Amino acid sequence: MKTIFDQFRVLRSFKLRIFIIIILVGMIPSSIMKIGILNNHADAEIDKHISGMESQAKIVVNQLLNYNYLEDTTSEVMNAELNQLSNLYDGRILIIDQNFKIIKDTFDISQGKIMISEEVIRSFKGEEITKHNLAGQYIEVVMPICITEDVEKVNEGNKKNDNSESLIRGVILFSVSTDRILAEEEELQREAEMLGLIMNVIILALALGIAIIILKPFDRVTEAISQVQEGYHDEITNVSDFLETEYIIEAFNQVLGKMNVVDESRKEFVSNVSHELKTPLTSMKVLADSLLAQEEVPNELYREFMVDIADEIDRENKIINDLLSLVKMDKKVANLNIEEININALMELILKRLRPIAVKQEVELIYESLRTVIAEVDEVKLTLAISNLIENGIKYNSDNGWVKVLLDADHQFFTLEISDSGIGISEEAIEHIFERFYRVDKSHSREIGGTGIGLAITRSAVIVHKGSIRVSSVEEEGTTFYVKIPLSYIV
Ligand code: ADP
């Protein structure tokens, strides 16, 4: 099933994701902050108003008693005070006497009327009530007008019934509309919204800018890679904005380097193969031409030349066969035919096959086995590898020389030491002998039928068995190859 990311490739864009992350990181906190600040501000404003109204009402209550306002409402000072306070809060103050009669209304509307409301009655019982009604959009402070303690003491002698109700001379009702606060809040909200909008636009622009700037080097990397792909350059040189892009480029250049090496070795291989195959052909052409150039060639000469031509054909054949073996060997694990083989028996067989060549070269073949070895190997490939080593020991030997094969094993590997008393290999040459077509002495090797591919085949065969091969040699003394192969084939 295709995911949404597969359907809309743009969603997988790193640039888009960075853009979104910056927007989220920028916008979410600022929005939360805005909402939090605005809400708190509205609540704090209302609380401030309420506590202001309460303390003002208390002051007024004291003044009303001092001016004996409940008995006589003519006090100009008091009236001015009440009007000033109601103006200050943009509210309304009602003073109600013990008979529930409104003796003062700062709006001058309800003076003389009777006011019986739940709050007023409760307040006459001594309660101080503060009501904040959001729906009605007003704040109401209702407070009893009580005689202060001093007044109480003066009155104490005259009053027989001392109950608290008798001390309450009236009630003050101070109401303020919250419209103004709300309007201020709305204004603040509008400003905050405007500011938020500007901030969001800035964040958006920043996010876009940062996403583009941050990813610019990656665009440059892509461009540089395309240039390599199109063949303008062999490697990427100059994209070093970020450490990360530098790593990418380094890794890419390393891959390129490896590819170049592979390409070079492929070219070299092709040119070597062509050269090797051409040599016998050139010889044949020379032989044939020289026959054709002569008239009435004697029969014996014909025979002699034909023998040479047949030798060259044999040689061509050998090179092609070796090449085929090498290619097969390179085809990795899939082509391996692993079986449990008795290595001692296999060694006997290989030596039996090679003995005639050794006899011909007058080289003694010695075989020593320290234990019975059973291992999981590909018989054909291993035979080819070991035969090559022993054959080389015979080929590059001196008169009356010897080649010794020693087989041993531990619980994990079996080892083969193939040593000879031959011509040895120089120090400079030894590191190249496993290369394809490498021969220490070209003409000598050619004389004795070498193609330079034998050791490359041997090395590949050992490696596909997950084994190892090493060599040590002293010129004019001899050479030893050490082969180590696991007893159990490891996939
Ligand atoms: P070739 O077909 O020429 O023998 P190889 O790949 O088998 O090719 O060997 C590469 C070269 O290594 C040989 O040409 C030879 O010079 C050198 N060489 C290999 N084995 C021995 C050995 N046992 N003693 C001396 N030189 C050796």
Please report the atom of ligand 1 found closest to the CA of residue 434. 6
Output the CA 441–ligand 1 centroid distance in Å.
Answer: 9
* Ligand 1 and 392: CB distance under 6 A: yes
pTM of the complete model: 0.55
DSSP string, 80-98: HHHHHHHHHHTEEEEEEET
Q: Can you tell me the distance from the alpha carbon of 396 to that of 399, in angstroms, rounded to the nearest whole number?
A: 10
Question: How far from chain centre, in Å, is Cα 211?
Answer: 17
Determine the angle formed by the axes of helices 299-330 and 379-395, rounding to 10 degrees: 130
Nearest residue (CA) to ligand 1, atom 16: 440
CA dihedral over 92, 97, 102, 105, signed as positive or negative:
negative
- The answer, yes or no, to whether any atom of ligand 1 lies below 6 A from the CB of 451, is yes
pLDDT along the chain (491 residues), means of 10: 70 86 88 84 86 93 90 90 91 92 92 91 91 80 79 46 63 90 86 89 91 86 84 70 84 88 84 85 91 88 92 90 82 75 96 93 95 94 94 92 96 97 94 89 74 90 94 96 94 75
pLDDT, one tens digit per residue, over 154-212 is: 444 444 444 444 588 899 999 998 888 888 888 988 998 898 899 989 999 999 998 88
DSSP letter at 297?
Answer: -
If you take atom 8 of ligand 1, which residue's CA is the nearest one?
Answer: 452
| d(C-alpha 99, C-alpha 121), whole Å | 11
**CA 339 to ligand 1 center in whole angstroms:** 29
Amino acid in the structure at residue 26: G
Helix (H, G, I), strand (E, B) or coil at 148: coil
Residue with token string 């320290």: 370
Which residue bears the tokens 């003389």?
112
**Is the C-beta atom of 100 inside 6 A of ligand 1?**
no
Residue closest via CA to ligand 1's atom 19 equals: 392
User: How many helices and strands, by DSSP H and E, does the chain display?
Assistant: 13, 12
Which burial class, exposed, middle or buried, applies to 69 when counting CB atoms under 10 A from its CB (0-12, 13-18, 19+)? buried
Q: Which atom of ligand 1 is nearest to the CA of 456?
A: 6
Q: How far is the CA of 305 from the centre of ligand 1 (A)?
A: 29
pLDDT of residue 165: 45
- Which is it for strands 478-486 and 402-409: parallel, antiparallel or unpaired? unpaired
Rg (CA), the chain: 55
pLDDT at site 136 = 66
The secondary structure of residue 487, as a DSSP letter, is S
Structure tokens at 158: 């005259």
The residue assigned the tokens 């040699």 is 473
Contact 350, 384 (CB under 8 A): no
Q: Per-residue pLDDT tens for 73-98?
A: 888 999 999 999 999 988 999 999 98
